[in-house]
Amino acid sequence: MALKIITSKRFLNAVQKTTKYLKEEWSKKVAEEFTILVIYKIQLLSKQPNIGRDTSLKNIKSVLAGKGHQQRIYYRVEKDKLIIVNMKDTRRNPKHNPFNKTK
């Protein structure tokens, strides 16, 4: 049974910002392909939530958005809900990623 998907405003803003960048710098087709990959990955997570890797924060896991993309989706599972917390560019300085803090 698939989990109910809940997305945060922060995640939606990150997706919107990334697709806008892809559309402006690459093409509308690349932006659409990225959006399709993100939707596919979220649907997959709702069916198989344990495929992600653990982060330094308790109960937060992450997966890459798709092949060839440097975006990582961060999420957590609560009962029958998949909560998509955020999406970060993996090429950015890892010291600024709140999900990679050392313990």
Residue 46 within a domain: yes
Residue 103 within a domain: no
- Report CA 50 to chain centroid distance, whole Å: 14
Interval 20-30: pLDDT, tens: 999 999 999 99
Residue 27: which residues within 8 A CB-CB, separation 6 or more?
Answer: none
Residue 101 within a domain: no
At residue 15, the pLDDT reads 95
Does residue 51 surpass a pLDDT of 60? yes
* Residue whose pair of structure tokens reads 């919107």 in the numeric block: 16
Q: What is the mean pLDDT of residues 48-72?
A: 87
Residue 102 within a domain: no
Interval 9-48: pLDDT, tens: 999 999 999 999 999 999 999 999 999 999 999 999 999 9
- The boundaries of the domain holding residue 45 are 4-91
Residue 37 within a domain: yes
Residue 71 within a domain: yes
CATH number of the domain residue 29 falls in? 3.30.2310.20
At residue 95, the pLDDT reads 59
Instruction: Indicate the pTM of the whole model.
Output: 0.85
Question: Based on the structure, what is the number of domains in the chain?
Answer: 1
Q: What is the mean pLDDT of residues 50-63?
A: 91
Residue 38 within a domain: yes
Torsion, Cα of 46, 49, 51, 54 (10° steps): 130
b/e for 24-40, b at 16 or more Cβ within 10 A? eeeeeeebebbbebbee
Torsion, Cα of 36, 43, 62, 80 (10° steps): 150
